[in-house]
């Protein structure tokens, strides 16, 4: 085993202070035998706890009788809602941890949903340490106190991003209070990432896309149980960012049953170049070899890896620099598939009559260049980017030159053309793929498609603040901290940031509730956001002010539309009709 693997494994201590942000109140819980109340579905026992001589605390624990079992949650201390944390929705097969998970059996007794610290195996991005276990397929439900059997609330389901290699659903990043105050139920879910979620071995046991199939089981659990929490089973919106946004689109493309009514996709689409990968057979062999098991038989390698500590597998995967992404699956009898063709060849019938909200950030690739020294610029950025999407050979070099001249003229790749390179990378990886998705939704008969661009540069921009980037614009994932309460943000939002929080959460939850982000204008939302159509692509620019525009970056998008059409036969996976 290499020294790097050994070093990573020696630093595996789990940081409870970071990930276990759970109120200590549940330590005072006293069992209650109160009967279920059918009107609001809670078992409520009131316990007066005296803390010191002059201070009292009333503790009300909600208990839900759901088809999945009896589930006890916690009253939140930062708003009028309850939390049900770490509910298991599926289990990983012990003898096939890289395969499809199985639905969770009905819970026995009362399940105390107090702990959201579970995380699937990965090198987490904040401490760069290897964390997690396969007992991670849990979800968290945040329920406003207004939710009852007589007042069912719309449901918003969040799927995190992270390139299908990292990510988790707990309150460290995705605190609910900004969203649930708008009277929607929020659900966040874990799914497997890395090799455990996205090995694609072209076998019935490990066909690929296991992490996406985890999400399917979570969505089925929500569909079957959310009514018991006061949710409206006919008003479920699924929302994701980056890989999470692409996940939402994969669910729309799949042959599985329709499990939600509306979709929100932030900076994520199945048309992101290089998103799909080929068979992972060589990947499995390489990881096994890295861990000391040398074989050319993939079945033997998988059998070895299945018995190997998950943290060793993740460490070896990380050291080898192996990515984890969805794949086009081979079809097998009696095996459910998620994706069996390239999205470019597919219609999206599930999008018919569905309201959809989709967009991107105005400087998606800002973080890739903002602090990069000139000597580290990728001199082959145009060639390597085009190779992700097109079949590339010497004959295609002329096309690369056209792209290069369009963005930087005859200039060398230096800091002098940094802004142009940011535009190229942002357009190629996000802005244009989003436009391709929009066209697919129009062709599929989606009901109303709301298009946005997030441009705000404030003090809470998620990525820019972490990386201390001072350039203007919104980088990839910068919008997250204006939708969620991030636990490590200790300072109260500035007046400008709070306005963006209020506007974004109102727009998004209006869409969840009404299928329309601006059912009426107001001082907070002074403009009417109209959906796109075949002729016009109006969009909402979300900055310090809300403004309406038409076809963002229309000249650059027109260039890519023409370029792609000319080179359609070279698109990877393209199958002529």
- d(CA 161, CA 156) in angstroms, rounded, equals 16
Please pick, among 117, 364, 426, 457, the residue that the annotation labels catalytic.
364
491 given a catalytic annotation: no
Q: What is the DSSP string of 190-248?
A: ----HHHHH---SSSSS-S-HHHHHHHHHHHHHHHHGGGGTEEEEEEEEEEETHHHHHH
Phi-psi region of 208 (alpha: psi -120 to 50; beta: other; left: phi over 0): left
- d(CA 211, CA 472) in angstroms, rounded, equals 35
Specify whether the CB–CB gap between 140 and 87 falls below 8 A.
yes
First to last CA, the chain: 50
Specify whether the CB–CB gap between 311 and 12 falls below 8 A.
yes
Q: How far is CA 70 from CA 40, 109, 118, 146, in A?
A: 15, 7, 20, 20
- d(CA 158, CA 168) in angstroms, rounded, equals 11
Among the listed residues 311, 304, 263, the one whose alpha carbon sits nearest the alpha carbon of residue 286:
304
Per the listing, tokens 């107090």 go with: 114
In three-state secondary structure terms, 151 is strand
Specify whether the CB–CB gap between 237 and 262 falls below 8 A.
yes
Please pick, among 101, 242, 385, 437, the residue that the annotation labels catalytic.
242
459 given a catalytic annotation: no
* 81-88 vs 74-75, strand pairing mode: antiparallel
Q: Enumerate the active-site residues.
A: 242, 364
């Amino acid at each position: 085993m290499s020294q790097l693997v050994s070093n990573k494994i020696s630093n595996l201590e789990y940081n409870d202070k970071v990930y276990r942000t759970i109120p200590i109140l549940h330590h005072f819980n006293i069992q209650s035998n109160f009967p279920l109340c059918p009107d609001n579905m809670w078992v409520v026992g009131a316990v007066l706890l005296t803390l010191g001589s002059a201070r009292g605390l009333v503790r009300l624990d909600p208990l839900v009788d759901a088809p999945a079992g009896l589930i006890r949650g916690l009253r939140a201390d930062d708003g009028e809602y309850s939390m049900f944390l770490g509910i298991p929705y599926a289990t990983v097969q012990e003898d096939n941890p890289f395969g499809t998970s199985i639905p969770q059996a009905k819970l026995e007794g009362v399940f105390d949903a107090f702990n959201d610290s579970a995380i699937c195996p990965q090198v987490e991005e904040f401490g760069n340490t290897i964390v997690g276990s396969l007992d991670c397929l849990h979800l968290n439900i945040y329920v406003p106190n207004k939710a009852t059997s007589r007042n069912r609330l719309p449901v918003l389901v969040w799927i995190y991003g992270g390139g299908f290699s990292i990510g988790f659903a707990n309150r460290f990043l995705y605190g609910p209070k900004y969203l649930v105050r708008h009277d929607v139920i929020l659900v966040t879910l874990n799914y497997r990432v890395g090799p455990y979620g996205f090995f694609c071995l072209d076998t019935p046991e490990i066909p690929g896309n296991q992490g996406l199939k985890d999400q399917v089981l979570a969505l089925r659990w929500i569909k079957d149980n959310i009514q018991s929490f006061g949710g409206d089973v006919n008003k479920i919106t699924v929302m994701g960012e980056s890989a999470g946004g692409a996940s939402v689109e994969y669910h729309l493309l799949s042959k599985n049953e329709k499990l939600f009514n509306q979709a929100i996709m932030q900076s994520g689409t199945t048309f992101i170049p290089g998103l799909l990968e080929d068979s992972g057979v060589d990947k499995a062999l390489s990881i096994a070899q890295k861990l000391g098991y040398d074989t050319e038989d993939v079945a033997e390698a998988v059998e070895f890896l299945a018995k190997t500590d998950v943290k060793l597998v993740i460490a070896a995967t990380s050291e080898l620099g192996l990515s984890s992404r969805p794949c086009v699956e081979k079809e097998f009898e009696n095996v459910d598939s998620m994706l069996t063709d390239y999205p470019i060849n597919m219609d999206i019938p599930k999008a018919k009559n569905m309201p959809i909200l989709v967009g991107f950030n105005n400087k998606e690739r800002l973080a890739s260049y903002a602090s990069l020294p000139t000597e580290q610029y990728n001199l082959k950025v145009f060639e390597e980017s085009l190779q992700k999407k097109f079949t590339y050979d010497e004959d295609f070099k002329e096309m690369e030159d056209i792209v290069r001249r369009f963005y930087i003229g005859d200039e060398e790749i230096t800091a002098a053309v940094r802004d142009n390179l940011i535009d190229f990378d942002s357009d190629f990886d996000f802005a244009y793929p989003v436009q391709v998705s929009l066209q697919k939704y129009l062709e599929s008969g989606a009901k109303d498609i709301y298009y946005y661009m997030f441009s705000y540069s404030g003090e809470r921009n998620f990525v820019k603040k972490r990386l201390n980037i001072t350039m203007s614009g919104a980088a990839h994932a910068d919008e997250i901290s204006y939708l969620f309460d991030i636990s490590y943000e200790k300072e109260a939002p500035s007046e400008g940031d709070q306005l963006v929080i209020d506007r974004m959460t109102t727009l998004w939850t209006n869409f969840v509730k009404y299928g329309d982000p601006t059912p009426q204008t107001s001082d907070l939302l002074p403009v009417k956001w109209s959906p796109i159509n075949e002729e016009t692509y109006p969009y909402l620019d979300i900055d310090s002010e809300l403004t309406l525009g038409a076809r963002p970056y229309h000249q650059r998008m027109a260039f890519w539309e023409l370029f792609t059409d000319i080179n359609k036969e070279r698109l990877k996976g393209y199958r002529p009709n």
